[in-house]
Every structure is written in C-alpha cells, then in structure tokens.
Amino acid sequence: MYQKTSFCLLFTLFLFLLASAANAQQEKYLLLGTDFQFKGKWLAETSKDATSGSILRFLEGELDSTSDALTVIHIKKQGHYTIWARTPDFETQPRSRFFQLSVGHTRFKKAGGHGTPGYIWEKLGVTDLKEGGVLLRLHNLNYGRCDALFLAQDENFNPNHTDKKTLLSWKTLPVEQEIVAEDKKNITPLLQLSKTDKPIAEIDNGALRIEFVRTGSGHSAIACRTSFKKEGSWQQFGTSNMEDHRVYLVSTAATAIRFNKYYPTWDAQEPAAYFLLNGQKYPVQKPGDDLNPFVAGNLSEAIPIAAETVDKQTIKVQYITRNGSGITGFWSLRSGQQHIDLRLICKVAQKGYYSMGVAAFQPVEEQNLENVMMAPMFQYKRLSEGPQMMITSMMQQPLAIVSSKASQGMASSYVAASPELFRKDWGSVDYAPAGFTLKNDNNQVQPVMFAPVLGMSDSRYNTGELIDRHFTIGISQGNWDKALDEVSKEIFEVKDYRKQEQSSLTDAVFNMIDLVKNDEAAGWAPALKGFYDIEGDPKTAPTVVNATPLANIALSVLQNDEDFYLTRSLPTIEFTLSRSGYRWATDIVPTAYNATRKTLEFNPFTSQFTTSYYVGLDRLLGGLNPWLKNIAIPGDSLRAVKGYSTDFHSWNQALWAYQLTGQVKWLQQAKREADIFIQHKIYNNSNKLLSHIPFYNASFYAPWWDLLDLYEATKDKKYLDAASYGSYFTIAGIRSYPKVQDSLQTIHPGNRYDGITHIWWKGNAPYRLGFPRKNGDVQEKKVPEWLVSPVGLGLEQPSTYFTRVKGQTVHPVFMSSWAPHLLRLFQYSSKPIFETYARNAVIGRYANYPGYYAAGFTDVPMQAGFPYKGPDVSSVYYHHIPPHLAFSLDYLITESIQRSKGNVMFPYSKQEGFVWFNNRVYGGVKGKIFGDQGVSLRMHKGLITILNPAINYVTAVSDKHFWILLSSEADTEQLLTVQWSDATAASKAGKAICYTPTAESAVLDFKGAKIDVVIPEKGFRAIAVPLAVAPISKNYQPLKEGMKVIDMGAPWGRVFLFRIRSPFGWDTCYGFAETAPLKGSSISVSCNGKVQEIKQYPYEWSFHKLPMGAHAALELIFRSENGKTKSKKVVLNGNE
C-alpha cells in the first residue's frame, strides 16, 4: 500500500512537471499599443491605469487605412495563438469606442465595447501563426483606445487573472522595419557667396544691411546677404559669405488640418514611404511626416530672378516657383530697427491651398546652438525630431528665436508675426494667421514662419488671386532674452496700456476679502476647513483645498480681525497641522490626490507643507508659538516634502530656515545650493521635451522668483541676474497680441457670450453659478479695446490654453501670480519690460475675483458682483480665490515698496508649494516707512475713502502715525481728497507730512479727517497723519509648552496635541489622531470641563479662547469598533 501510494505521488509529480515544462515552452507576447512602430493617425496619451502609463488613442471616427497603426513582431514558435486586447470603457457612452485588430491575414472582431468602466482584457479570437515576422494592424472604427495586445499559445490563459508585473515579463518589442522613401529634393543647397559678388540691390539703416547679389556659376543666380553692424564693422550672422534667408511656397489641391496630436497635422498627401514584409509593400508615413509643414503639400523654393532698390528703405525682389506661381517680395528697413519688414505677394497659378514660408538668416550647426524659444513648448534646447509647427493661436508670443555662438559672439536670429496679421481675434483652433517651426526643410535648426497656415480658411485661393502677407525677420546681438525684449517692444509694440476706471486694485482686494468671508459665495466648507474643489468628483466624498494657506492666515493679522481668525485663519492652521497636503477629502477619491488610505492619515511631519510655510506661520502668529520650529526644522533638518505639481528646492528652504533661526549655516547652505541651482536649472539648456500637459509656470522652466529673496538677503548680484534671465521664460508665456488700439470694439454680439460652460461640482451637487443661462444676462455693447484685451495674460498649461475644441477660444488665465515678482525685478533692474508685463497682468483687470480662464472678449468677470451672481463664464474655482487675493495683495504692497525707492519696507513670508502660486505674504512683523520704525500694515475696508479708482492705496500704523501710501495708475496728474474714519485713531485736524519717493517732504494741513493731495502721473506719495491717541501696545508672551505627541497604539496611532497662541490674546487647544477612517470608532475629548464627541473621521477637536495663563487639562477616551476603550489624560500648560 505504501509503495503504491509513493508511486502515485511520484507519477503525479512527474505529470505536473511535464505539464509545467510544456506550459513554459508555450509562447506568450505582450505588445504595448504605444510601441507600434507606425502609429498612423493614432496618438499616445497618458493614462495612469494603463499597463505602462500610456495608451494608443484615436480622436475621431473611422478613416481610411492610411490612418492605421502598423507594426511587426517576431513569432518564435509556430502554433495556435489566442489573441487578447486590453481596452478601457467608460460610464459615459459605454460600448461606443471601437477598433479592429488584424494579425497577419486574420481580422478579429471589434474591440473596446466591453461595457465595464475601466480596463479589461478582451478575448478577440484565435489564429495560426508561423514562425517569423507577423504584421499587426490597428484600424480605428470609432474613437478607439488600445492599451496592449497579448498573444498566447495557451488557450486557457486569461491575462485578466495575471498581475501586471508578470504580464510585463512577456513584453516584446516590435521588429523595426526599414523605411523606403523617395527623397524629393525640391530645395537647392545654400549658395556660397564671394566677396567679389556685386550687389544689384542694397539698403542699410545703420544697424542692418541687406544686399541682393549676383552669384554662382556665371553670376546667373541671385542671393541675399544680410549683415549687422558690430563695433563699427559689418558682420554676417553664421557663416560669412553664405546665402541668407529662404522663401518657400507649399501648395496642394486639397488638404485638411487636424490637431489630434496637439500640433497640427495635414491630410494632404498619400504616404510617401513604405516597408517590405514577405515581399509585400505596406505604405506608411515616415514618422513625423504628418507633423512636417514642408511635406504637407508640394514644396517649392521661391527662386529670386530679379532685384531692384526701390528707395533708401526698400528692395523689391521677383521670385518664381515650381508650380508657376509668382511671388513679389518687398524687403524694408526702417531707421534704427534691428529687424526687416518683409512683405510677400503671391499670384497663384492654380486653384488650391497655399502657404508661404520664410526661413530667417542661416541654419545653425548643433555645436553652435545655444538656445531656442518658441513658447510655450520649445525653450532651452528642446527641439522636435523633425520640423513641427506651432500655429499662432497656440502661442502667447508669435515668434521663433534661435540663439547661437559664433566667432562674432552670441547672436539671435528670429522670425516674428507682423501685427498686421492679427485681426481682433481672441484665438482658437479654428483659425490662426501664421505658424512657426524651429527646423527648416532639411531638418536643420533655423527659425521659420509660414503664412497663411495650410488648411486654414484663408489659405484657399483661386487661380490668379493674390496672397499678401507680412513677415518680420530680425537679428539681436545677444541671447534669446534680449531678442524677445526687442521684439516685444519694437515689433509687437507691447505697451503699458491698461487703466483703472472701474475699481482700484485696493478696492478689488477688499472685495475679495469680503468674498472669502462669505461661505456660500466662496465655496468654504466649515466642517472640512477648506474651499471646495469644483473638479473633485464627490462620488465618495467632496474634496477641499487650501492652496495658499498663509494668505488665509495673514488676512486676520492685516485686518486685525479676530472673527476672521476664528472662521478662516484658525481652521486653516489646523488643516495644515494635520492634513497630508493641500487637497483633502474624508474618504478615498480614486481620481484625486486622496487616492490612497495613506493620504488620509494625519501627521504634521509627513505632509506637503514646507519649512517656509511653517516659518511664515510662526511670523504671522507673532513668534508666539516657538514649538513651530520643531515642525519647520524637524531634528535640525529641512522638511523632506514635495509640493503639489511643483518641485521644491532645498536652497530656498534653507534660506527660510536662516530667517527663522538666524543661524549662518543655513544661509551658507542656501547660497551653496542656489549656485548649483542657477547653473543646472536657470542657465543649463535642457533638451528634454515636455508634453502639452504640465503646468507651464511650474514645469517648463525653473522658479526664478525665489532668487529675489536670496538677492535681498545677500545683495549678491548674480542672484538678481539669474532671476532676471529666468523671468523671460515667464514673459515668453504671456500674451503680446493683438496690438491694442485706442478705439472701441463690440462685445457680446447679438446679446450672446458663452465663455466656459462645463458644469462642475459644489460639495455633493453639480453646480455652476448663473446656470442655466438666462436670456439677456449679457448685453451687446461697445467698450474700449484696452478693457477686454488678452495682452498681458499668461497660461495654465498648453493643453488648457489651446483646447483643440472647434468653436472654442483659447484660454489664458487671470491667475498672474508672477506679476509681483516682475514688479520687484523692475525695482532692482529698472528694465521697463518687467513693469510693463507686470502691470498688464493686473491693472484694471478685475474688481473682485474674476474666475480663472479668460475665454474671449467680455467684461462680465470684471464686475464687483461677478462671483455672487455670474453668469460664470470664466470658471469660479473656489480654492483659487485666496491665491488670486494673495498675488493681488502682494502686487499692491510691492508697488508701494517699489515706487518709494526703498523708503517703504515690510518683512514678508513666502507662500509656495501649490503649482506656481508663489507669493510674498505680509503681516506679523513690523516694517518701516520713511524712517518711521515699527510700522504695522493695517489693511481694512473702510479705514479710508478715496473716490478715484485710478488710485491704489496701502494703509499702516505706527506708535505715532497713521500712514497712507498712494500709488496712481493714471497717465495724468491727479488731485484727490483722502478721508479717514474713526477706526484709524488718526487726528481729525492738524498737520500731516507728505513724502515723495526721494524722501522730500511737505507739510499739509487737514481738517474734518480729510486731506487734499496731488499725485503725479503714475506717481507715489506717502502721507503721515498723526494719531489722536497712542495705540495700546499688546506684548504677549510666547508659549512655553505648545505641542505633545502620545502613542495610543493600533488602531489610533499617534495623537498630536497643540496649544496655539493667537495674536488676539488667547489660545486654542487642538488635536487629532493619526489614523485614517475607522469603522464604528469614536473619541470623546474633554478640555477644562468642555466636551466634544468625535464619532467619525476626521478624529480631531478644537477648543477656542483658552486664557493664556490657564492650563489645558485634557482627557481623551478612544472607543473602537470592538467595544474596547483607551483613555489618556494630558495637560498643556499655559503661561502669560
């Protein structure tokens, strides 16, 4: 019996091993959709639930086979294979997104309509495959999405039951197929010129010289040579005696421009390449050809055949093209300009679509390339693999710049859109007057501009019609930033054009403060201690956000407002002591920040909040809570945190550790690491391309603004210089067109304006202010162009700026957090461009929170009542209200500091960590005004009255004076009356002192608590009014004991207890348990006889207005689901 049993066991083991061996020999292949060699019109798209983080997607319905994705894989073993496809489906419109897979000659059933939200492996069928290469083809049927394909010999294998790691172990890469293509050379090489070539036409303006010379064999060719004057001699950009500039013509009988890949693609041409597999040709497009504007149609070089000097400023050139169209070019130089105005007029030879192109100066060799700029997508040394166009409606600055090093030094060539090209058009996917590339037809680096854009409505012409377009070509002796400065001023003519006629910035700030106080209008959730996130799907729980917590706290200090402290500042402090980050919900929200249970745990040492935040909190609370140092610099180390969609740099945190402690070691660390940061992040030219998804001001360039803090601390000019250079990346993302004219324009034609219309959330319900829309909620009217112009606004991210939705305008944003930083740069550098772009972002833009996106010509968001009554045409993001208020207040105070020429100074804290919402926050520490030390900002609505919206004002108080700081935004001198209320404690009659920025003073008489003062155009005055009664000084003592941590074990974890001393002479006892949500658990907390019952997550409590000298006797009772209880008694001692 024993022997039989042993035999059976051995035999069973043998069969198992045999089956395992057989199974091991069965082939399995995992192919990722994004690994297809030839993607056709499919595109890769990020998807966090995909096998590798991205999928292959089609953005429209069925097209012909030229749009298919093709690839070849190698089958190692002949056999019978089961074919699977991993596809997503959705709750909205399920079973409506399909594609069809072919493997070899077998076409399988359509995939993608499984009807289950999320990703699933679908079994498509079986087929016999031979050893060797096999062709796989994805044919879109309707908005198809393909994550991955799986081929298995084991017919019982189901990839739905296998983990991702195991599946990826069978990943196979395609067998790269050699592309066969006929390379049509429609462009001749650049001509080598000779010093003896004689000009047949020549002009110069003292800065630039243009010559058209006879050259080549027998002097039968004509070429352009352009020189710039440097140190008294004429020099050519790039290679000396080489032809400059190229003119192109692209034409086609039929075309369609698409934006499925974000950048424009064209359907004009049949595939011009193929690959061979088993003797059969498979037509394909060369990778990148669909993005290449030079092959979007028939490319022809425009060859000059005649040139003549028309006058001292203009040369006329005649060109011929291969399709018979003639082009006349007018090359003009105006006095003192560093650029060429080029007008091209083309008489088309046959009906079709046309685009003219101009390549500026010469191609730049890779070893000489220093920088490129074609914002928002291309900067530093970021270049596409081949020519790739950005159309003007994608861009904020319509230009392409290439900077290079040569024997004559650094120089930047550029081509820019002439202001004449732009109609009064906001911009959309439907139309753009021009497009740009950084690569020429030969894939060399060179700035190129096309106009019109092939496929746009204005690119279609009949035989004999004229195309008339302007191009601007220029050279700047220096890097790209100098070129951008020149183009902005000289070509785009960006001016300080905005006015304040409806509301002062001060009044707008006060209106926003009132808004923040309004729970309903501001979307404040008292129980959650944050502002609702309108994009947060509340299926499991609503999400709240505190994006700029220091601003919430500073407002109680600046206003001396105890009620605001209780209702906004204190809840914010508690939020940032407990929550894991800026966003928070009471349950897991799979699509948001709180996607894991870990993020729901409470612990001040593991959150996203930075050293700089806790230093700022300490300052705003008047240094009364020294226990904050242990959180700001735990274990004498900087906090190891990562912000929300932004990176922190330790040098900046070290600077704030220095501000907190005064320890020189932190300043030394800040300087040492900042020097590395400057070289590696500011000046180093990355070639890593980014997608159109990241936030522009948080990802595409380094945060230069923090260097101004270090400059002020060290006075080392290298930090100012680095900040100045870095700021041009910000400016490159700010709208500079269309040119603002002194005229009226019609808005809301036909009493209609849509703006943004998507319905988001407020708490648990769908909501959008003022929706559904009502007839007559906007009125057609005429307004000044300056009022509604987008010039001066930046972008959130390329994808939300240029949405690619037909009929939808581009979306710049009102969130100009960078504006005060630019104003500070102007203060230290005196470069006008910084002040101009700062002012154009802020002045006269809003009278209250205007929403987020600027989506067209409208004045609806500019009204003081907009966030209360709507209609919400710009997206009222509740958690953006404090950040918008923060940068506005920063700008307002910085303007007084800047205009006073350093005679006004207030210490500040730094709010950062949430995307690019980075600003100085004032309050908590006294400053100085014209020698008056110990001045505290007091910004409260109603302290003074000025009936002139052109005047911004800041108010402050010392032990002697009530200060009124006045800044005029008007272009003319202003006479105004300033009146103050009893709340200022200022004298009602007497003599005040009025200061100019240069500290010159004059005595002004006043009575009836009002004074008359004259302010120069865009000038500044500071008025010191004597106090009627000296203020009572309140010097509270810092807490001696403010924080305790006790470990209560599972399931509660650690319990954190805080005593928070307010600036108003009383304390709060706040605490929480570390744990994420628990089922059936509760905590009972008593403090000095007062009891709070916490029956669900979050397990936190807060007792207010404890006398500073009273001890806080706490008893905590923890009850678990199993009925067990734990208790703990703790005392937090008080002191006065």
Say if residue 988 is in the same domain as residue 1017: yes
Say if residue 933 is in the same domain as residue 871: no
pLDDT score at 15: 43
Say if residue 485 is in the same domain as residue 509: no
Q: What pTM, to 2 d.p., does this model score?
A: 0.94
| b/e burial code for range 931-953 (CB count within 10 A of at least 16 → b) | ebeebbbbbbeebbebebbbbbb
Q: What is the DSSP string of 715-781?
A: --HHHHHHHHHHHHHHHTTS---SPPPSSEEEESGGG--------EEETTEEE-TT-S--TTSS--E
Q: What is the rounded average pLDDT for all residues in the chain?
A: 95
Task: Provide the token pair at 1085.
Answer: 């907390």
- Helix 881-899 to helix 505-517 angle (10° resolution) is 150
Q: How many Å apart are CA 939 and CA 507, to the nearest integer? A: 11
Mapping DSSP to helix (H, G, I), strand (E, B) and coil, where does residue 519 land? helix
pLDDT score at 17: 43
Say if residue 266 is in the same domain as residue 144: no
Cβ neighbours of 1017 (radius 10 Å) = 12
Segments of 836-895 assigned E as strands:
none
Closest CA to 254 of 458, 490, 501, 455: 455
- Helix 706-714 to helix 717-731 angle (10° resolution) is 160
Could you read off the pLDDT of 224-279 as tens digits, one per residue?
999 999 888 999 988 888 999 999 999 999 999 999 899 999 986 678 889 999 99
Q: How many Å apart are CA 722 and CA 714, to the nearest integer? A: 14
Query: Do residues 1017 and 973 lie in contact, with contact meaning Cβ atoms separated by under 8 Å?
Result: yes
User: How many Cα atoms occupy the beta-carbon half-sphere of 674 within 13 Å?
Assistant: 30
Q: How many Å apart are CA 143 and CA 63, to the nearest integer? A: 11
Q: Answer whether residue 1 shows pLDDT above 90.
A: no
> Residue 4: which pLDDT band, with cuts at 50, 70 and 90?
very low
Closest CA to 346 of 481, 445, 470: 470
Query: Do residues 344 and 434 lie in contact, with contact meaning Cβ atoms separated by under 8 Å?
Result: no
pLDDT score at 133: 96
pLDDT score at 19: 44
Please give the average per-residue pLDDT across 852-865, as a whole number: 98
Say if residue 429 is in the same domain as residue 293: yes
Residue 192 maps to a domain: no
- The CATH number of the domain holding residue 974 is 2.60.40.1180
Residue 186 maps to a domain: no
Strand partners, 122: 85
Residue 1035 maps to a domain: no
Say if residue 702 is in the same domain as residue 654: yes
Share of the chain above pLDDT 90, in %: 90
Query: Do residues 713 and 667 lie in contact, with contact meaning Cβ atoms separated by under 8 Å?
Result: yes
Could you read off the pLDDT of 913-958 as tens digits, one per residue?
999 999 999 999 999 999 999 999 999 999 999 999 999 999 999 9
Q: How many Å apart are CA 317 and CA 310, to the nearest integer? A: 10
- The CATH number of the domain holding residue 224 is 2.70.98
Say if residue 215 is in the same domain as residue 125: no
Q: What is the DSSP string of 305-337?
A: EEEEEEETTEEEEEEE-TTS-EEEEEEE--TT-
Say if residue 379 is in the same domain as residue 416: yes
CB within 8 Å of 100: residues ≥ 6 apart: 107, 108, 109, 110, 111, 138, 139, 141
Please give the average per-residue pLDDT across 1038-1057, as a whole number: 97
- The CATH number of the domain holding residue 1091 is 2.60.40.10
Q: Answer whether residue 1002 shows pLDDT above 50.
A: yes
Say if residue 484 is in the same domain as residue 564: no
Strand partners, 977: 1012
Q: What are phi and psi of 168, to 5 degrees?
A: -65, -20
Closest CA to 1019 of 994, 1037, 1038: 994
Mapping DSSP to helix (H, G, I), strand (E, B) and coil, where does residue 875 land? coil
What sign has the CA pseudo-torsion 612, 613, 614, 620?
Answer: positive
Say if residue 145 is in the same domain as residue 204: no
Q: How many Å apart are CA 90 and CA 243, to the nearest integer? A: 57
| b/e burial code for range 149-178 (CB count within 10 A of at least 16 → b) | bbbbbeeeeebeeeeeeebeebebebeebe
- The one-letter amino acid code at 1083 reads I
pLDDT score at 425: 87
Please tell me whether the peptide bond between 1051 and the residue prior to it is cis, using omega within 30 degrees of 0: yes
pLDDT score at 184: 65
How far from 267 is each of 94, 444, 782, 997, CA to CA, in Å? 30, 24, 41, 62
Please give the average per-residue pLDDT across 635-654, as a whole number: 92
Of 873, 893, 921, the last residue of a domain is 921
- The CATH number of the domain holding residue 140 is 2.60.120.260
Q: Answer whether residue 785 shows pLDDT above 60.
A: yes
pLDDT score at 185: 67
Q: Answer whether residue 1057 shows pLDDT above 50.
A: yes
State which residues form the domain around 930: 926-1026
Say if residue 913 is in the same domain as residue 932: no
pLDDT score at 268: 60
Say if residue 566 is in the same domain as residue 487: no
Residue 151 maps to a domain: yes
Could you read off the pLDDT of 556-589 as tens digits, one per residue?
999 999 999 999 999 999 999 999 999 999 999 9
How far from 48 is each of 51, 147, 599, CA to CA, in Å? 8, 11, 18
Residue 691 maps to a domain: yes
Task: Provide the token pair at 494.
Answer: 């960006």
Q: Are strands 908-911 and 927-929 parallel, antiparallel or unpaired?
A: unpaired
- The CATH number of the domain holding residue 558 is 1.50.10
Task: Provide the token pair at 16.
Answer: 């198992």
Of 874, 892, 921, the last residue of a domain is 921
Closest CA to 452 of 441, 468, 437: 468
Q: How many Å apart are CA 213 and CA 221, to the nearest integer? A: 8
Residue 439 maps to a domain: yes
Torsion of CA 787, 791, 796, 797, to 10 degrees: 140
Number of domains in the chain: 5
Of 491, 523, 548, the last residue of a domain is 491
Q: What are phi and psi of 1129, to 5 degrees?
A: -110, 135
Cβ neighbours of 718 (radius 10 Å) = 15
pLDDT score at 14: 46
Q: How many Å apart are CA 863 and CA 379, to the nearest integer? A: 37
Residue 1034 maps to a domain: no
Query: Do residues 356 and 469 lie in contact, with contact meaning Cβ atoms separated by under 8 Å?
Result: yes
